[in-house]
């Protein structure tokens, strides 16, 4: 005689909810990808001179007017860099917030922006660097070295404390800022070059900048993907993570390494751009929850969308002049920071 075992109460409801959640996430992912494609197309279309979809298609097919082709093709590097930088900054922000379990953490805490700026100033003042491509080769090691020093100082004496990391980042940033000010004030020609880079802009770069930072961005993304499941365990607390077989110290170290690589690549390529790494993870968490595997995937879509939209606004708002993307993201990100603080206050 066969005995039928009754399923525990609520099992069917949980399966239904899980299936509905998967469908919802797939729909959100599809919508995000479609929106990203549209924003990329808009980035190629809009600028100091507006071009239509038909003209863009003519350029792609090779039958466009030479002037139109030159205008459209000049937007390719900034669009590609916008996708890469937005992706890197958003994923780096999610990593920082996950590693620190602090919703206000962002890549700038590691002193990466100031390290990259110090590299640019050094190269411009003492090594004769003049172009954006030359500057990136010095901004990148400056950012990586700053992140490494902050991590070494913050982990001195065993363990990695967020408070010590923040203090180390603040101290190093203060020292490097003093160096930057001393050089730029004493060398006006350095300041003229530095002031354009430090605001953060996608224009004035070519594909050489993209290829220079791409390996570091891919390395950071690979490490982030490997850590996603472990960060889910870390979110439960160190003791719970250890009981689940995770190594909290290794996860924090790996997360900081990945965030440093990603933020350094983005900052070296387009300059320090604020609030993308802070605002995008908040929006993504509100949409998909706390699973870092989903957070990283959606940040990789939402970050480029935000950065390219900001760049488009900067190009058309003061046409034919251009408002740099770093200024636009600051205006967009400040309200996001205030909302995040209000949410934290309400949850406390």
Indicate whether 7 pLDDT > 60: no
The set of residues, in sequence order, having a beta carbon less than 8 Å from that of 336 and lying 6+ positions away, is: 275, 278, 279, 282, 283
Residues 123 and 135 sit within 8 Å (Cβ to Cβ): yes
| Local confidence band at 294 (pLDDT 50, 70, 90 cut-offs) | very high
| Local confidence band at 27 (pLDDT 50, 70, 90 cut-offs) | very high
The CA distances from residue 274 to 62, 65, 287, 331, in Å, are 38, 38, 22, 10
| Distance in angstroms (rounded) separating the CA atoms of residues 222 and 224 | 5
Residues 254 and 225 sit within 8 Å (Cβ to Cβ): no
Residues 87 and 307 sit within 8 Å (Cβ to Cβ): no
The CATH number given to whatever domain includes residue 129 is 1.10.3470.10
The set of residues, in sequence order, having a beta carbon less than 8 Å from that of 194 and lying 6+ positions away, is: 117, 120, 121, 124, 180, 184
The CA distances from residue 200 to 85, 296, 309, in Å, are 11, 24, 15
| Distance in angstroms (rounded) separating the CA atoms of residues 276 and 278 | 5
Domain with 224, as residue range(s), is: 78-347
DSSP track, 215-279: HHHHHHHHHHHHHHHHHHHHTT-HHHHHHTT--HHHHHHHHHHHHHHHHHHHHHHH----SHHHH
Backbone phi, then psi, for 327, in 5-degree steps? -70, -45
Q: What share of the chain is helix, strand, coil (3-state, %, to 5)?
A: 80, 0, 20
Residues 180 and 115 sit within 8 Å (Cβ to Cβ): no
In a domain, 233, yes or no: yes
The tokens of 130 are what?
A: 């003049």
CA-based nearest residue to 302, from 288, 316, 314: 288
In a domain, 60, yes or no: no
In a domain, 18, yes or no: no
CA-based nearest residue to 326, from 270, 285, 283: 270
Four-residue CA torsion sign, 93, 96, 97, 98: positive
| Local confidence band at 104 (pLDDT 50, 70, 90 cut-offs) | confident
Indicate whether 331 pLDDT > 60: yes
Q: What is the pLDDT of residue 300?
A: 95
The set of residues, in sequence order, having a beta carbon less than 8 Å from that of 320 and lying 6+ positions away, is: 48, 49
Scan for tokens 């902050």, then name that residue: 150
Domains in the chain, number: 1
In a domain, 142, yes or no: yes
In a domain, 36, yes or no: no
pTM of the model: 0.85
In a domain, 23, yes or no: no
Q: What is the mean pLDDT of residues 113-118?
A: 86
Higher-pLDDT residue of 100, 12 = 100
Give SS3 for 47: coil
Indicate whether 6 pLDDT > 60: no
| Local confidence band at 17 (pLDDT 50, 70, 90 cut-offs) | low
| Distance in angstroms (rounded) separating the CA atoms of residues 312 and 295 | 25
Cis previous bond, 320, omega within 30: yes
Scan for tokens 């404390």, then name that residue: 161
CA-based nearest residue to 36, from 225, 309, 287: 309
């Amino acid at each position: 005689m066969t005995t039928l075992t009754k399923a525990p109460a609520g099992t069917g409801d949980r399966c239904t909810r899980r299936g509905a959640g998967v469908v919802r996430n797939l729909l959100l992912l599809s919508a995000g990808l479609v929106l990203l494609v549209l924003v990329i197309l808009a980035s190629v279309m809009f600028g100091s001179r507006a071009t239509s979809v038909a003209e863009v298609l003519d350029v792609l097919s090779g039958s466009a007017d030479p002037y139109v082709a030159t205008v459209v093709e000049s937007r390719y590097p900034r669009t590609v860099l916008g996708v890469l930088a937005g992706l890197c900054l958003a994923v780096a922000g999610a990593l920082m917030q996950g590693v620190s379990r602090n919703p206000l953490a962002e890549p700038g805490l590691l002193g990466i922006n100031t390290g990259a700026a110090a590299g640019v100033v050094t190269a411009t003042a003492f090594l004769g660097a003049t172009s954006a491509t030359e500057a990136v080769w010095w901004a990148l090691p400056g950012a990586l070295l700053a992140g490494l020093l902050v991590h070494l100082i913050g982990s001195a004496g065993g363990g990695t404390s967020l408070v010590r990391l923040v203090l180390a980042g603040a101290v190093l940033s203060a020292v490097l800022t003093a160096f930057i000010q001393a050089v730029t004030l004493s060398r006006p020609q350095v300041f003229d070059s530095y002031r354009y880079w430090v605001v953060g802009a996608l224009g004035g770069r070519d594909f050489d900048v993209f290829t220079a930072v791409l390996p570091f961005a891919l390395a950071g993304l690979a490490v982030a993907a490997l850590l996603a499941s472990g960060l889910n365990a870390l979110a439960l607390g160190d003791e719970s993570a250890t009981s689940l077989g995770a190594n909290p110290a290794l996860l924090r170290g790996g997360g900081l390494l990945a965030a440093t690589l990603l933020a350094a690549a983005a900052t070296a390529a387009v300059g320090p751009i604020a609030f993308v790494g802070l605002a995008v993870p908040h929006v993504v968490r509100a949409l998909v929850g706390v699973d870092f595997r989903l957070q990283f995937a959606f940040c990789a879509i939402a970050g480029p969308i935000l950065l390219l939209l900001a760049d488009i606004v900067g190009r058309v708002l003061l046409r034919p002049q251009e408002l740099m993307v770093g200024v636009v993201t600051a205006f967009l990100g400040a309200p996001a920071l205030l909302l995040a603080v209000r949410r934290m206050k309400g949850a406390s």
